[in-house]
Amino acid sequence: MQWIQLKIDDKKIRVPEKTTILEACRMNNILIPTLCHDPELTNWGACRLCVVEVEGMRNLVTSCTMEVQQGMVVRTSTPDIREARKTILELIVANHDIDCLTCEKMGECELSKYAYEYGVKKDVFQGAKREYELDDSNPFIIRDLNKCILCGKCVRACAEIQVNHVLDYSKRGFETQVGPAFHLPYGESDCVFCGSCLAVCPVGALTEKQMAGKGRPWEVKKIQTTCPFCGTGCNFDLNVRDNKVVGVTSNPGSPVNGRALCVKGRFGVEYIHSPNRLITPMIRKNGELVEAEWYEALELIAERFKTIKEQYGSDSLAALSSARCTNEENYLMQKFMRAVIGTNNVDHCART
């Protein structure tokens, strides 16, 4: 590997070749704003907010797409650069719904964060406004094209993480929009509801339907945990408010899956507080299921197992375990069947 020496804001640094200016800055704790960049996606250069000045170049360049070169001199925060970034933000805001008071993304919106940092307070550029109907045809995701900033993160996430290619750009200029082919509603497309687009959207263009109105980001406590739906071991953050799980969000630090989740892992949490969920053991008495204590249910199971084993032999019993259990629980299940019951009739739902 070759190393490149360059200077950024009068600071001498050394980074591997093929590193972009943006990556070099982040390696050295130099902050550069960006709306379209994501370390898990290809470099795009769509938002232009990460522009920097490179000595010897006539115009400002996007730091997320330009690779470092030997001896390069970069400036990231001159008055001209800040003025250019402010103008870019004003242009974005000119075609963005300013309904922050009711937007579900408020508190986590990257656009509002940078608008605050660069002092963008009002719509400077007057003119035509995009007016699209809200698309809530997807059972899990609300799509509001009036808030879309055309950063392309959802397009790349769908293509590069999920490899589903449902989303892409269509039309040109002022009419440009992002969505499924033939402008189909989200719910009628080939979307598999993985929510990868939802996880990367920097604004309120894509929001989770079941979390709408359940609490602002600062009112929600995030608890990292492991998904129980299969044995892959994906991690995510449970969003908890008032001791109730209101939804799931991706955790970029998850060692197994990063931010990628399946439809069950991301959206399958309503059962937790379902009124139909069993919370106590049930025993059939006189033909009806009635609630019982745990010790009573376990004693009944042990008695029935013992009776069946004595009458019909150990091989008359079998155990089917689940990928939703931990490895330790599955180990105990097979150990119980072999050592206590005395049979090798053990199977697992994930085997097929």
pLDDT per position as a tens digit, 12-27:
999 999 999 999 999 9
Q: What percent of the chain has pLDDT over 70?
A: 100
- 32 touches 52 (CB < 8 A): yes
Cβ(212)–Cβ(189) below 8 Å: no
Give the mean pLDDT of 70-80: 97
* Angstrom distance (rounded) from CA 128 to CA 183: 21
Arithmetic mean of pLDDT, 139-162: 95
Per 3-state DSSP, what percentage of the chain is helix, strand, and coil (rounded to 5)? 30, 20, 50
Q: How far is CA 18 from CA 6, 48, 55, 185, in A?
A: 13, 20, 19, 40
Taking residues 174-195, report their average pLDDT.
Answer: 93
DSSP for 202-232, written as a single string: SSTTEEEGGGTTS--GGG-EEEEEE-SSSSS
Would you list the domain boundaries of the chain? 3-77, 214-277, 282-351
Q: Encode pLDDT of 107-116 as tens digits.
A: 999 999 999 9
Confidence at residue 352, expressed as pLDDT on a 0 to 100 scale: 57
Q: Do residues 178 and 156 touch, judged by C-beta distance below 8 A? A: no
63 vs 87: CA distance, rounded Å? 17
Q: Map residue 128 onto helix, strand or coil.
A: coil
pLDDT the model gives residue 98? 84
For the cut 60, the answer to whether the pLDDT of residue 2 exceeds it is yes
> Which residues, 6 or more positions from 5, have their beta carbon under 8 angstroms from its beta carbon?
12, 13, 14, 70, 71
- Calculate mean pLDDT across residues 244-260: 93
Distance, C-alpha 272 to centroid of its chain: 20
Lowest mean pLDDT among 19-23, 47-51, 120-124, 202-206: 120-124
pLDDT at 101 over 80: yes
- 152: which residues sit within 8 A by CB, 6+ positions away? 36, 44, 46, 169, 178
Biggest distance spanned by C-alpha atoms of the chain: 90
pLDDT at 242 over 90: yes
CA distances from 136 to 140, 150, 175 (A): 8, 19, 21
233 vs 241: CA distance, rounded Å = 24
Spatial CA neighbour of 252 closest among 309, 325, 303, 200:
200
Q: What is the β-pairing status of strands 168-170 and 177-179?
A: antiparallel
Q: How many CA atoms lie within 13 A of 67 on its CB side?
A: 8
CATH topology of domain 3-77: Ubiquitin-like (UB roll) (3.10.20)
CB neighbours of residue 19 within 10 Å: 18
Q: Which two tokens stand for residue 68?
A: 């470092």
- From first CA to last CA, the distance across the chain in angstroms is 44
Average pLDDT of the segment spanning 193-219: 94
> Are 40 and 121 a contacting pair, CB within 8 Å?
no
21/94: higher pLDDT: 21
Q: Are 253 and 264 in contact (CB under 8 A)?
A: no
**How many Å separate Cα 227 from the centre of its chain?**
14
* Average pLDDT score over the chain: 93
Residue 99: what pLDDT?
86
Q: What is the pLDDT of residue 349?
A: 79
Q: What is the pLDDT of residue 243?
A: 93
Q: What is the CATH number of domain 214-277?
A: 2.20.25.90
pLDDT confidence bin for 158, thresholds 50/70/90: very high
Q: What percent of the chain is predicted at pLDDT more than 90?
A: 85
The residue type found at 161 is: I
| Rounded Cα gap, residues 54 and 74, in angstroms | 5
Nearest 5°: CA angle at 219, between 264 and 138?
35
Amino acid type, 52: V
More confidently predicted of 45 and 325: 45
